[in-house]
Structure 1
Amino acid sequence: MICAAAWNVRGLNGVAHQKSVGQLVGEFNIKFLGLLETRVRASNAQSIQNYTLPSWKWFVDYNEPGSRIWLTWCEEEIGVEILVVDKQFIHCRVTNKGEHTKCLITVLYGANELIARREMWQGLIQISRSISDEPWMVMGDFNAVLDDSEVSGNAADTSASMAEFSECITDSELHHLPFTGANFTWHNCSDGERSLWKRLDRMLVNEAWLAKWPQSKYISTNPRTSDHSPLILQSQDSRKKPLCSDLRIT
C-alpha cells in the first residue's frame, strides 16, 4: 500500500512552511503527497519545490485559477499518471513500483461556496461511475461537514450542505476510512466565543480499496504551521522502509 497524505498547508511561501512539509514527509515516510492552498505564484513554484522536497516529482496545473492543488511524489518508488484535472480536484492513477500495485487517488480542495461544491460532488460521482474494480481513494479538504457532531462552535453550515455531501458519498459508493488522532481537522485560530472547530478533511475509499487493503486507516495529526491537520494514510510498515534520497527534513 502507498503511504499517501494530504494537507491544506495554508501557504507554502514561507521557509517554515516548506520545512514543515519536509519534516512531515520524513516523519511518516510519505511517498505521495497532495498539498492544498499553497498560495504560490507560478514564477516561484520551482524554487519552492526544489527546496521543499529535492528530487521529488511535482504536478501543478497553473492553467487553473489559483492553482489550489499541488501533487508531489517520490519518483524512485512511485509512478503517477494524471487522469483528470479540475478546479477542485486532481484525479490520478498511482503505481507502487516496489509492490507492483496500482490504485486511483483523487486529491481535492472543495470550494467555500455551496454552489461551487456541487460541481465537485458531480465530478466525484462521474469518476466513480468510470471505475470498475480499481481501488480508489479520495482525500483532502472537502470544505464541508456531514453533521453537527463535526462542528464545535458557532457555524453557519446548512442542512442542505450536509445533505448534499452525504448524498455524494452514497452516490459515489465511497466509505469512511477509519482514523485516529484529531476529530476536528480545522480551527479558525480564534479564542473564546469566536473559536470554531470543524472536521473538513478526510479520506474516503471504495469497496475495491477495502477489499485489497482491509486494515488501512489514516491519522489526523498536529497542524504544525497550518490551521488544518495533515492526513496520513497508515500501513503497518510505513515507518520501516528507507526514505527517498535527497529528502530535506532539517
Structure 2
Amino acid sequence: MRILTWNCRGAAKPAFMSSFRRLVQIHSPEICFLYETRLSGRGLGRVLRRFEVDWETYVVESQGLSGGIVALWKRGVATVDVFHNCSQQVLMIISEPNVAPWVLCGVYASTAYRTRRALWDELTHLIAQGFPTAIVGDFNCILEGSEKRGGRAFTDSMDRREFRDFLSRNGLVDLGFSGPQFTWCNNQAGRARVWERLDRAIASTDWLTRFPSYRVSHLPRIASDHCPLLISTVSGSSHQSPFRFEKVWLSLPQSWDIVRGAWSLPVRGDAMQRVSRKLELTKRRLRR
C-alpha cells in the first residue's frame, strides 16, 4: 500500500489540483492525507467535486483559513473505517485481504504546543488499544538540531521534549526517510531562510514487524512550502522470502561495514526498542 501525506497549504489555490493529480499519476497512492486545506462550506464542496470519482473522502473542515484535513482512499483497494477524528487528526482502521487490521493516523498538529498536548494524549490512548499503528503527517515540531537549518540556533524547548517523551513513552519509532533532508522551508531569502523536518512517519514496533520492508520518501516540493511524503508498505502476505543469515557474510568485509553502519545510527526509545530497531535496520541493509 502507498500512502501520500502532504501539507498543501490551501486546496483552493489554482496550482493545487493539477499538482495533486500529478502526484497521484506518478506515485499511485491508495490513501492520501491533505493538510491545511483551508476549506469549509461551499468552497470545500467545490473542491471535493473536482476529485476523481474513484476516491472516497473524509473531511475535517478548517476553522476559517486555519487547518483542515481531507483524507482520500481508492475504492475497492482496502476496507477503510474512519472511527475517530478531531481538528488535528483523522484515524482509520485499514483492512486488506489476508492482512490483519491495522491503524493509520493522519496528523496535522497545531502550531501551539499546548494544543499539541491534547493530540499526544489522544494518540497515547489510541496506541494503548494494541493495534499495529502508523502515524503520518505534519507534526509541526522537530526533535533535534539536525532537523533544522538556518534561523535561530536550536534549543531543547519544552515542546520538543514533550514530543520526544510522547514517542519514547509509547514505544514509537521514527521511520526515517530517503530524499531531501528537510520537509519545510519558509521561502525567505538569505540568512532569513529556515529549513526544518516538520513532516514525518512514525510507527509502533508491531507495525514494523508487520511491514518490515516499508519505505518513506520525501518528494520534491510542489505548490507548497512543505514537501509531500510517500509511505510504502509491503504486507506480511508478500512473496518476499523470510530473512536468513548467511554464514558467508562473516567472511565478507563489506558485511561487517553494513552491520557497523546500522548499529551506529542514532535510534530513540528505551533499550529494547533501540535494539529491535537496529536489528531491523541491519536486516534491511543486508537484504540489499
Q: Normalised by the size of structure 1, how large is the TM-score?
A: 0.86
Q: Residue 89 of structure 1: CA displacement?
A: 1.0
CA contact (8 A) 1:22 1:53 kept: no
1:175-190 alignment runs, 5 A limit: 175-190=173-188
Instruction: Check 1:91–1:40 CA distance in 2 against 1; reply closer, same or farther (3 A cut).
Output: same
Give unmatched runs, 5+ long, in structure 2: 236-288
Deviations 1:90-144 (A, max 9, x none): 1111223x555532011111111111111111111111112x2x32100000000
Aligned partner letter, 2:147: E
- Equivalent position SS for 1:175: strand
Q: Which residue of 2 aligns with 1:70?
A: 70
Q: Which residue of 2 aligns with 1:55?
A: 54
Instruction: Check 1:50–1:157 CA distance in 2 against 1; reply closer, same or farther (3 A cut).
Output: farther
Q: Which residue of 1 aligns with 2:200?
A: 202
Tell whether 2:138 aligns with 1:144.
Answer: no
Give percent identity, aligned residues only.
24
- Equivalent position SS for 2:231: strand
- Equivalent position SS for 2:49: helix
Mean Cα deviation higher: 219-228 or 170-179: 170-179
Count of matched residue pairs = 233
Q: Which residue of 1 aligns with 2:132?
A: 135
Q: Which residue of 1 aligns with 2:13?
A: 14
Mean Cα deviation higher: 205-214 or 77-86: 77-86
1:204-223 alignment runs, 5 A limit: 204-223=202-221
Give unmatched runs, 5+ long, in structure 1: 238-250
Please tell me whether Structure 1 or Structure 2 has the larger radius of gyration of its CA atoms.
2
Q: Which residue of 1 aligns with 2:150?
A: 153
- Equivalent position SS for 2:151: coil
- Equivalent position SS for 1:52: coil
Q: Residue 46 of structure 1: CA displacement?
A: 2.8
- Equivalent position SS for 1:107: strand
CA contact (8 A) 2:60 2:86 kept: no
Instruction: Check 1:121–1:215 CA distance in 2 against 1; reply closer, same or farther (3 A cut).
Output: same
Aligned partner letter, 1:163: R
Q: Residue 188 of structure 1: CA displacement?
A: 0.2
Q: Pick from 151, 159, 162 the counterpart of residue 160 of structure 2.
A: 162
Instruction: Check 1:236–1:114 CA distance in 2 against 1; reply closer, same or farther (3 A cut).
Output: closer
CA contact (8 A) 1:9 1:226 kept: yes
Mean Cα deviation higher: 189-198 or 169-178: 169-178
Q: Residue 214 of structure 1: CA displacement?
A: 0.6
Structure showing the higher helix proportion among its residues: 2
